[in-house]
Structure 1
């Protein structure tokens, strides 16, 4: 018999009631899904060769959690839903699926009598929902696992490209004394703020603020759709800008627009809204080679390998050049990149977990979320079109179960597009479609301003 394997500190953290998280990955396909063929592919996939996906989470008498290997019954994990999610013809296909996902985010935990994953085949909507507990791994690990079950549309014998935009360079940078001094200073400042956020420092209350208990409130889900070509045009307007700089410029501009609609006279110029962003800490950014992730001796191991950064955006009334939002976002993110805030947050969490236990670590993480305004993540998907069981994939989207934030946002790129799922507490933000429209309009205005600036 194989011995039970203890959970990692991060895995134990995600099993605590305050920080329990399930990732919902939505994959749309072009044609009708063949359920039997899909199950056959799952049975023979690398998914069932990975120990995490073939193990129960059990508790020993000491109260510690362990992984215990078990036989996997694919029929219990691949659930087929033949009927449409809504009988109302006026509700669009996308809205029906988003309503289904928003219900899953607050009311549907994974059963612990089987490995902590399942796949919902929504036959009437030509899509599937891949649900996985965060204790199994982070977004990079799980996206890499999913793509290992796919093939390239232009060459079915090949796996999708692992890597893509954002892959880190192997060349070493030469740091000046002044740069090293800034690294030390920014790290001290941002780590101190991180600690204060876990204690009492919080954002000013606005109409989009969440707080303790909000994770239990009903949710709504809307999808913001961006073209990567538009984001690339905008980033060229500012020297050395990145897609993440553009994303935060869009968020800053979009939130400012939305707050002008909801409370136009109640906010001060420059109001700070802080986001909790997850940062991949593996040596290589972007997607990973699944064989390397499953090799414990490689530098890019499987699991939850990410830190947290607190990224502020600022409210500004309309009328200014939209590219100013990008300039401010780039300036802020450049300072964050120089710091060691993300690695320090990971090490700090590991230290608390190891010496004080999962309960205290989850309480501190919970307080950080309660004291900030939103969550944002950005996972890079495949560059080329892909197929699953020979069926062309039309979109890839992701969201997670509810947090104390009133707004959580998860962006996934696929080919030439990037879709961002915006999950909101509907009692606080009853109109997420308007918020999504504010984000989409912000990018288009930035694009127009960038094109106008390039012609002058």
Structure 2
């Protein structure tokens, strides 16, 4: 086995000239209140040969960003900085051993248990905040699994996914770049008609009033108002320590696009509508008394003004600081569930579209970020982290999404047949992640183990998709 590089466990408190300050968001996500990580799971279609793992990490992964070979350290002024260290790659690579010659069902169970165990382990602070787990055993979904565990302080989903994709190649032709679905809006649909001066003034004040309300409600909701305790929200004070059961369900992009076109909405609205309806169906299955409970989703938005992923080189340019944590969140109320006789599944999509479009374009998103910065400046990073923690705890579920490539990828000549991710440590009983890849939308469902019946929730979300798809195809 290749020896790898050796780590320096002690660093001088005096920052080197090249040491980078830890961003405010990076400090929030690695604090006493929060320790948020991202699990990215790659499913391979062939058995895994891990003999080239260390050279791949050393030659491709580590050079992507200095943070992958740095730890968080305090300088003489008590400020946190990324301190460069030498890395022992073997410390970061885990290859578990399961019993040989088990059934596929048994390996499914072993994989699920291993993945759940990963959700409770804290990354060591004395080495760079990432690790890889290689599971060579076949399951019903893949011949093998490669799991990246990356701390959110390193960057948000966009940055980390960009880093991950830079280590992968197109399976059909490695010399060609990966391509991604366009996120540009339909120009014809978005052409605005000329407006009079009076209507422009009215629209301006409407936006200001809406922003004021949205910002006030977001702050009030984050600080004071908690959602009701329901079958999807236990309200436990220490959810970050609870194991998370991760399940997935997949939908055809063609079918989702049909719903999108029929209803003239965004894919985000379609997915949010499906998840909202599925969650309400699950809650109704426990007790119809939960139909009208106060239940909100915390939707994370990428605030970069770009379409698709950029190269790592472009991300890191001094005049184009795309790397890092650049996102905002907004509260979206889940529609109340009526009786089955009067249920209109499309209402969940239309209401999601209305809420997301209004709030995404609202200045309240910017104001919320500035409010967090004010907390940090006057009360310190830990107070800001506490505010984010309260925001997470008081809502019922989180929804986050990423765009994946259209073509099949390969990792060291291992074709990747499936891809999904899951944020962990976010103080929620339910987190939903959304990832597109090769014409399929993969929904990851992270549930508080022992509190939510993950199998039944997956069935409810699948049912919600069928109801919305059927209603959309029948609509004129």
TM-score by length of 1: 0.91
Change over 3 Å in CA distance of 1:303–1:123 after alignment to 2: same
CA contact (8 A) 2:36 2:424 kept: yes
CA contact (8 A) 1:116 1:136 kept: yes
CA contact (8 A) 1:194 1:310 kept: yes
- Classify the secondary structure of the residue corresponding to 1:208: coil
How many equivalent residue pairs? 446
Deviation at 1:403, TM superposition (A): 2.7
CA contact (8 A) 2:284 2:291 kept: no
CA contact (8 A) 2:283 2:291 kept: no
Deviation at 1:285, TM superposition (A): 4.2
- Counterpart position of 1:218: 243
- Counterpart position of 1:130: 148
- Counterpart position of 1:305: 326
- Counterpart position of 1:411: 434
Task: For 1:18 and 1:449, locate their aligned partners in 2 and report how far apart those are by CA, in whole Å.
Answer: 44
- Counterpart position of 1:315: 336
- Counterpart position of 1:355: 378
- Counterpart position of 2:85: 70
Change over 3 Å in CA distance of 1:442–1:118 after alignment to 2: same
1:7-406 matches, cutoff 5 A: 7-60=22-75, 62-83=77-98, 89=103, 91=105, 93-106=107-120, 108-125=121-138, 126-161=144-179, 163-167=180-184, 176-211=200-235, 212-239=237-264, 241-264=265-288, 266-269=289-292, 271-298=293-320, 300-317=321-338, 318-319=340-341, 320-406=343-429
Structure 2 residue runs of 5 or longer lacking an equivalent are 1-15, 139-143
Task: For 2:371 and 2:335, locate their aligned partners in 1 and report how far apart those are by CA, in whole Å.
Answer: 28
Change over 3 Å in CA distance of 1:128–1:332 after alignment to 2: same
CA contact (8 A) 2:34 2:425 kept: no
CA contact (8 A) 2:32 2:382 kept: no
CA contact (8 A) 2:207 2:362 kept: yes
Deviation at 1:398, TM superposition (A): 0.7
CA contact (8 A) 2:277 2:464 kept: yes
Deviation at 1:382, TM superposition (A): 1.0
CA contact (8 A) 1:52 1:136 kept: yes
Deviation at 1:2, TM superposition (A): 4.3
- Classify the secondary structure of the residue corresponding to 2:47: coil
Deviation at 1:263, TM superposition (A): 1.1
Q: Deviations over 1:72-98 (max 9, x none)?
A: 2222222223436x9974736555433
- Counterpart position of 2:475: 453
Aligned-residue CA RMSD in angstroms?
2.4
Task: For 2:113 and 2:307, locate their aligned partners in 1 and report how far apart those are by CA, in whole Å.
Answer: 32
Task: For 1:166 and 1:131, locate their aligned partners in 2 and report how far apart those are by CA, in whole Å.
Answer: 27
* 1:439 has 2:473 as partner: no
Change over 3 Å in CA distance of 1:439–1:49 after alignment to 2: closer
- Classify the secondary structure of the residue corresponding to 2:122: coil
Larger Rg: 2
Deviation at 1:395, TM superposition (A): 0.8
- Classify the secondary structure of the residue corresponding to 1:411: strand
Deviation at 1:61, TM superposition (A): 5.2
Task: For 2:162 and 2:275, locate their aligned partners in 1 and report how far apart those are by CA, in whole Å.
Answer: 27
TM-score by length of 2: 0.87
Deviation at 1:246, TM superposition (A): 0.4
